[in-house]
Homo-oligomer: A and B are copies of this chain.
Amino acid sequence: MPVPAPVLYPPFNIVRLSHVEFGVTDLAASRAFYVDTLGLQVTYEDDESLYMRAMEERGHHCIALRKADKPEARVLGFKLYDTPDLDKAAAFFAAKGLPVEWVERPFMGRTLRTCDNFGIPLEFYVQMDRLPPIHQQYKLYNGVKALRIDHFNMFTSDVDASVAFYNEIGFRTTEYTEDEDSQKLWAAWMHRKGGVHDVAFTNGLGPRLHHTAFWVPTPLNIIELLDLMATTGYVANIERGPGRHGISNAFFLYILDPDGHRIEIYCSDYQTVDPDLEPIKWDLKDPQRQTLWGAPAPRSWFEHGSLFAGVDPVASAMTAQPIIAP
């Protein structure tokens, strides 16, 4: 079996994925998309940036947008369990020969900036500004009524290598697709917080960000968003869905923000807290793994992704090797 055994006692304790920062070319257009259409709640904004949280989140933000010359994904953020985990994380990445830096980040405490084995920019923190609960202020619910950020999905040129790296820092694989012929992983879903995934990796020109997902309570939220987008000028931003994934069992919709950053709206996955939860294996030749109901994904879904700031996927692909051998 190509999926490595879970590491029960990882070198540091990641609680969950936490936030993403995007470079966007038109803050007003992004605000119309994320705030007026998706219904995310603004927690800070100025001429250069826009911070938002979803309805049940108490941390200051799950998505930060910054005005930029070109669209890009700047960093993927993760929350650590306790203060000592920061130093343990720094030691881990340094030992891998990966860059380690302590950075100042707005609304966040001490923050470690680094990257994974393929150069994907990561940041880790323990404390972020906490805000009062708004999940029972039903007057604020709007758009798709996203409750929380759910996961990141990344293109990688070597899924086995990516899975090995994240497995080592405690992510546990819940489902995966294997190419029966080559015995190589085609895609994998890995979690920390007890759902199907915090991060997923899919085979392709990497490293790039395939999508960022938000969790909603029912498929009807997704249908409402489709109706809203279809009648407010966003019909071309609807890329794929609605549908049910075989993998994860989630009901999904994929949409594109005004800069082409892909967002998934997602519900109905399952609880995965058992450390002995057996990963579910899917065959690359089984089309129902992608859409249980059989409809194929459009070509763009396999090809398009967001570049990570300062990371050149072509160069990476040409070497056909991870930047850092695991």
Contacts and interface: CB of A to CB of B under 8 A. Distances in A.
B217 A138 contact: no
Contacts of A148: 270-271
Contact of A231 (B136, B147, B268, B274): B136
B79 A294 contact: no
B226 A244 contact: yes
Contact of A137 (B219, B231, B244, B295): B231
Contacts of A81: 8, 275
A137 B231 CA distance: 6
Given A135-B249, A138-B228, A219-B223, A235 B274 contact: no
Q: How many copies does the complex hold?
A: 4
Interface in A196-219: 217-219
Interface in A294-318: 294-295
24 contacts: A8-B81, A15-B273, A16-B273, A58-B277, A79-B274, A82-B275, A130-B276, A135-B249, A135-B270, A136-B292, A138-B224, A139-B231, A139-B232, A193-B271, A194-B273, A217-B218, A217-B268, A223-B251, A226-B292, A230-B288, A231-B292, A235-B288, A236-B294, A242-B242
Contact of A218 (B220, B228, B294): B220
